[in-house]
């Protein structure tokens, strides 16, 4: 819903299913971690950085479990942590998470996740807006767009192009 722009619908589901999120410091089900990943990504895509930032401690806990990839959503734990760290403006942590996630995605290899990591990393750089960030963001977005084109994801090509413009 977040990717289609249905903000109200996405936030309604979050409100209804908030109890499905993992509980800090306790064993949690795989489903609760999946929900965390989907919620962080959805909030970030919707531009709701304030709610996504609140979930960064849980995203760090997810990474600390040793999880690499959440199946069946095929999103890397480090990618989710990078997105949440970006929302929290914890730039160094976000950089570390994205770099780790990209190394992991390249080693598998997981081509789609590589593109997604590059897109989210670029969005973080655009938000941070340090002197060389715009140039690096354009480079990452160009690489992501190329991959999205190769694997036939026109909506992601469009999203990436919008970020480039």
The tokens describing 62, both together, are: 């997810």
Q: What pLDDT shows up at residue 59?
A: 98
Quote the CA–CA distance of 68 and 70 in Å, as a whole number.
7
Using CA atoms, how far apart are residues 40 and 52, in angstroms rounded to an integer?
Answer: 5
Both tokens of residue 65? 């479990």
Q: Given CATH 1.25.40.10, say whether it is the number of domain 7-164.
A: yes
CA distance 55 to 118: 21
| Model pLDDT, residue 125 | 98
* pLDDT of res. 81: 98
Instruction: Give the model's confidence band at 150: pLDDT under 50 very low, under 70 low, under 90 confident, else very high.
Output: very high
Query: Tokens 């410091």 identify what position?
Result: 25
Non-local CB neighbours of 86 within 8 Å, separated by 6+ positions: 44, 49, 94, 120, 123, 124, 127
Tens digits of per-residue pLDDT, 70-88? 988 999 999 999 999 999 9
> Residue 113 — very low, low, confident or very high, per pLDDT cuts 50/70/90?
very high
Domain ranges of the chain: 7-164
pTM of the model: 0.96
* C-alpha–C-alpha distance, residues 118 and 44, integer Å: 15
- Per cent of the chain over pLDDT 70 is 100
Scanning 1-88, the segments in alpha helix (DSSP H) are 7-17, 30-46, 49-54, 56-64, 77-87
Mean pLDDT, the chain, rounded, equals: 96
Using omega within 30 degrees of 0 as the cis cutoff, is the peptide bond preceding 69 cis?
no
Q: Give the model's confidence band at 40: pLDDT under 50 very low, under 70 low, under 90 confident, else very high.
A: very high
């Amino acid at each position: 819903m977040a990717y289609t722009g249905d903000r109200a619908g996405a936030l309604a589901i979050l409100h209804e299913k908030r109890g499905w999120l993992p509980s800090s410091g306790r064993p949690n089900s795989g489903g609760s971690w999946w929900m965390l990943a989907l919620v962080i990504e959805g909030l970030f895509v919707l531009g709701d950085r304030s709610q996504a930032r609140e979930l960064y401690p849980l995203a760090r806990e997810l990474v600390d479990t040793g999880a690499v990839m959440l199946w069946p959503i095929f999103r890397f734990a480090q990618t989710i942590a990078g997105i949440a760290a970006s929302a929290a403006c914890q730039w160094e942590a976000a950089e570390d998470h994205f770099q780790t996630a990209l190394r992991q995605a390249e080693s598998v290899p997981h081509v789609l996740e590589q593109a997604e990591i590059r897109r989210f990393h670029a969005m973080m750089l655009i938000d941070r807006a340090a002197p060389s960030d715009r140039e690096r963001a354009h480079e990452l977005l160009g690489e992501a767009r190329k991959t999205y084109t190769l694997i036939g994801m026109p909506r992601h090509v469009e999203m990436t192009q919008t970020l480039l413009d």
